Amino acid sequence: MGKVIITAALTGAIHTPSMSQYLPFTPQQLIDEAVRCHEAGAAVVHVHARNPEDGSPSSDGKIFKEILSGIKARSNVVITPTTGGSPTMTPEERIAVVKSLSPEMATFNAGSLNFALYPVLQKYKEFKYPWEKDYLAGTESFIFANNFKSLHVFSESMKEVGARPELEVYDVGQINNLAQLVREGYLKEPLYLQFVLGILGGIPATIDNLMYLINTARKAFGTFKWSVCAAGRFQLNMGVVNILEGGFWRVGLEDNLYLEKGVLAKSSAEQVEKAIRITRELGLEVATEDEAREILELKGIDKVNY
Ligand code: KMH
Ligand code: ZN
């Protein structure tokens, strides 16, 4: 088996500041978190931008540039900015970071789905910032739109700057979307997939479902690389099964605020350390950032625009 790439997803757009005091959102906090995760052994960091005043999701190019160049000044880690953005952003706002910063890799969401966060309002009642409650409640009517026209535009934009798409797959039918994009010439094999389990609107996080996704992708593509991320406590068991199957593992506060039951993670780096401990206990090796660049065939840090 090859080496395991550990990705740390630093903040995302699912959790809000009131859910954990440790959720980073200013550029400086995100830069520090990325460096900590890299030092802990993550080869890749996945980055969303947030408004430094109140932690709300942002697509501001200046904020993205500050974060990515700040990380690059201190670390050689691979940086994967989001093009999923948040429920409040248009597709044009979501893809802008790729066009302006020309990253080595960026997320590419493989299809449309309901993306519902509103049930967490049963758990969280008090909010620090006014936007949080409305944002979460608004997802009751949110469809995360990634139609074929938009998939075509996103893949062309990534091709133009040589950014590798990390293909986010939230349900099994989205593998068919990707196969269609390969047939149309928009995506080139070997693909790099990220199975995302446990989003309300997507496939639930069970071992059977993860194996179904892997086996369906095997039938569709033969050879491909893949990682897994899963919501909440499923981050751990989905990751373990996935690396035993030959895949990679994403951790981080974007997907899971906890280190263990009832204990908030103080940093994504704590989850990175835990994932690496387990990976090594299972007799597997962890990829460095440059090994990840080789495995994922990335263009290189010298070809980015930040
Ligand atoms: N937010 C996760 C559910 C993206 O940023 O484009 C998957 C993700 C996608 O990280
Ligand atoms: Zn993300």
Query: Which atom of ligand 1 lies closest to the CA of 168?
Result: 9
Give residue limits of the domains in the chain: 6-303
Query: Which atom of ligand 1 lies closest to the CA of 109?
Result: 6
Query: Which atom of ligand 1 lies closest to the CA of 194?
Result: 7
Q: Provide the pairing of β-strand 225-230 with 192-197.
A: parallel
Would the pLDDT of 141 be above 90? yes
Using 50, 70 and 90 to split pLDDT, how confident is the model at 1? Answer: confident
Residue nearest to atom 3 of ligand 1 (CA): 196
Ligand 1 midpoint to CA 220 (Å): 23
The tens digit of pLDDT for each residue in 75-120 reads 999 999 999 999 999 999 999 999 999 999 999 999 999 999 999 9
For a mutational test of ligand 1's pocket, the pick from 16, 98, 158, 168, i.e. the residue with the most ligand atoms closer than 8 A to its C-beta, is: 168
Residue nearest to atom 6 of ligand 1 (CA): 84
Calculate what percentage of the chain has a pLDDT beyond 70.
100
Ligand 1 neighbour 227 (Cβ under 6 A): no
> Is the full-model pTM beyond 0.85?
yes
The tens digit of pLDDT for each residue in 225-274 reads 999 999 999 999 999 999 999 999 999 999 999 999 999 999 999 999 99
Cα 291 off chain centre by: 19
Q: Which of these CATH numbers, 3.40.50.300, 3.20.20.80, 3.30.565.10, 3.20.20.70, describes 6-303?
A: 3.20.20.70
Ligand 1 neighbour 168 (Cβ under 6 A): yes
Ligand 1 neighbour 33 (Cβ under 6 A): no
Residue nearest to atom 1 of ligand 1 (CA): 12
